[in-house]
Amino acid sequence: MTKLSVNINKIATLRNSRGGDNPNVVKAALDAERFGAEGITVHPRPDERHITYQDVLDLSEVVTTEFNIEGYPDERFMEIIKKVKPAQATLVPDPPTAITSNAGWDTVKHEGFLKEICEAIKAEGVRVSIFVDPDPQFVMGAKNCGADRIELYTEPYAANFHKDKEEAVSHYVAAAVKAQELGLGINAGHDLDLDNLKYLKEQLPQLDEVSIGHALVCDALYMGFENTIQLYLRQLK
């Protein structure tokens, strides 16, 4: 069964817009777990515009499901991975000024760098996932870098889903088949929602985990946090 990891960055964005500690990100993570989430994802960026590094430390003390920390593997990111030792570190190629992730790694061009990073993280007993576009050559590259999993960047799938869902998912199917051949686990994330999630899962039965934040939090404004998490879990059955 595909696990649902709830990204709580947007909870922190709301908190930071007013200062103080409302909503509380630790409570949000604990509630998400209580409501059925099988993982918690955070993406601490250098400017701390949503999740802060202190949030990561606080969450590491209480999260009992899989804790997934995403980020560009700079020195500060590596320090917190070594300190927290989450279940999974997801490497993304975002520059510091990026609003959100908008591309996967070129794992061929950056093989040397990523291989060194993967070795360092795995030495801490942490599973490594590399964020990639749905291209078999980048999947192969992730394997060559020493990753345990890939995370498929699904924004192009989401953008084209309502135009031609079969075409939209075709590259993802090819990438997933390649990953399975190579023994890589398969995660997915970015712009997945209640409209497009079920079809992706049906076409990628080998999918291990999805990480969803923005759409889930938006839906929760109308349908409630607990109900929304249950609705997303239902799409993955």
205 Cβ contact partners less than 8 Å away, ≥ 6 residues apart: none
- The pair phi, psi for residue 217, each rounded to 5°, is -70, -40
What confidence score (pLDDT) does residue 100 get? 61
How far from chain centre, in Å, is Cα 167? 23
* Residues 232, 187: Cα–Cα separation, whole Å: 16
CA distances from 55 to 48, 124, 211 (A): 10, 21, 18
Q: Over the stretch 168-180, which tens digit does the pLDDT of each residue have?
A: 999 999 999 999 9
What confidence score (pLDDT) does residue 98 get? 61
Could you please report the per-residue DSSP string of the chain? -PEEEEE-HHHHHHHHHH-TTSS-HHHHHHHHHHTT-SEEEE---TT-SSS-HHHHHHHHTT--SEEEEEE---HHHHHHHHHH--SEEEE----TT-SS------TTTTHHHHHHHHHHHHTTT-EEEEEE-S-HHHHHHHHHHT-SEEEEE-HHHHHHTTT-HHHHHHHHHHHHHHHHHHT-EEEEESS--TTTHHHHHHH-TT--EEEE-HHHHHHHHHH-HHHHHHHHHHHT-
Q: Which of 43, 50, 151, 209 is catalytic?
A: 43
What confidence score (pLDDT) does residue 103 get? 83
Q: Over the stretch 89-140, which tens digit does the pLDDT of each residue have?
A: 999 998 666 656 668 999 999 999 999 999 999 999 999 999 999 999 999 9
**70 belongs to the catalytic site:** yes
* Residues 89, 99: Cα–Cα separation, whole Å: 20
What confidence score (pLDDT) does residue 180 get? 97
Q: Which of 33, 50, 151, 190 is catalytic?
A: 190
Contact 219, 229 (CB under 8 A): no
What confidence score (pLDDT) does residue 15 get? 97
What confidence score (pLDDT) does residue 94 get? 80
What confidence score (pLDDT) does residue 87 get? 98
Which stretches of the chain drop beneath a pLDDT of 70?
95-102
What confidence score (pLDDT) does residue 96 get? 64
Contact 131, 100 (CB under 8 A): no
**214 belongs to the catalytic site:** no
